[in-house]
């Protein structure tokens, strides 16, 4: 795709960005909520919803990556230094890595705990590893810590976007509006 006349992401990329952002927030909030619940049918239902969101996000990140690999993103503002561009690239790469690693560690935790994941109560997913209490604990801790790392990175992403928009006034947020119809 040639973006030479458009300094914005495609409508599909924008839609995937905001859909995933919404699902990430919901999954994180559900994860925080469910961790404080006593074992009950309600907690098991909340866990299922959390897993469904995780699987959905895992599928969406692969869709988003394939879109990204086949559609060139808009150029960074010309006023950005090479270091700033590299930092933005590293930040985006870290977000993609976490969007893959977080659902994967959740799935590994469930597998090691001996609790199969059944997507939308319809599609049983294979266990990735055999039941193993020590690995289950390890993947649960890793899943939790990666989520906190994602929260920090997302907050940094938002802060950087707002800084560029309102302090640097380089109209960075316009990249997230579809081209045409100004």
**CATH (residue range 11-176):** 1.20.950.20
Average pLDDT over residues 29-43: 95
Q: Which residue has the higher pLDDT, 79 or 140?
A: 140
Task: Indicate the pTM of the whole model.
Answer: 0.90
Q: Which residue has the higher pLDDT, 81 or 7?
A: 81
Would you call 10 helix, strand, or coil by DSSP? coil
Q: Is the confidence at residue 2, as pLDDT, over 80? A: no
Would you call 119 helix, strand, or coil by DSSP? strand
Alpha-carbon distance of 16 to 106, in angstroms, equals 22
Alpha-carbon distance of 8 to 42, in angstroms, equals 43
Percent above pLDDT 90 for the chain = 80
Q: Is the confidence at residue 7, as pLDDT, over 80? A: no
């Amino acid at each position: 795709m040639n973006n030479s006349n458009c300094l914005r992401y495609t409508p599909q990329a924008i839609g995937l960005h905001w859909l995933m952002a919404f699902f990430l927030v919901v999954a994180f909030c559900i994860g925080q909520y469910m961790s404080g619940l006593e074992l009950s049918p309600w907690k098991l239902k909340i866990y299922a919803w959390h897993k469904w969101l995780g699987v959905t996000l895992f599928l969406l990140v692969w869709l988003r990556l394939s879109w990204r690999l086949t559609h060139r993103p808009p150029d960074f503002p010309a006023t950005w230094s090479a270091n700033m561009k590299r930092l933005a690239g590293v930040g985006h790469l870290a977000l993609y890595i976490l969007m893959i690693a977080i659902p994967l560690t959740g799935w590994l935790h469930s597998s090691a705990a001996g609790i199969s994941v059944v997507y939308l109560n319809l599609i049983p997913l294979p266990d990735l590893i055999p039941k193993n209490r020590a690995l289950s604990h390890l993947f649960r801790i890793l899943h939790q810590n990666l989520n906190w790392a994602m929260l920090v990175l997302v907050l940094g992403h938002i802060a950087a976007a707002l800084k560029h928009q309102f302090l640097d006034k380089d109209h960075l947020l316009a990249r997230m509006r579809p081209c045409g119809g100004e």
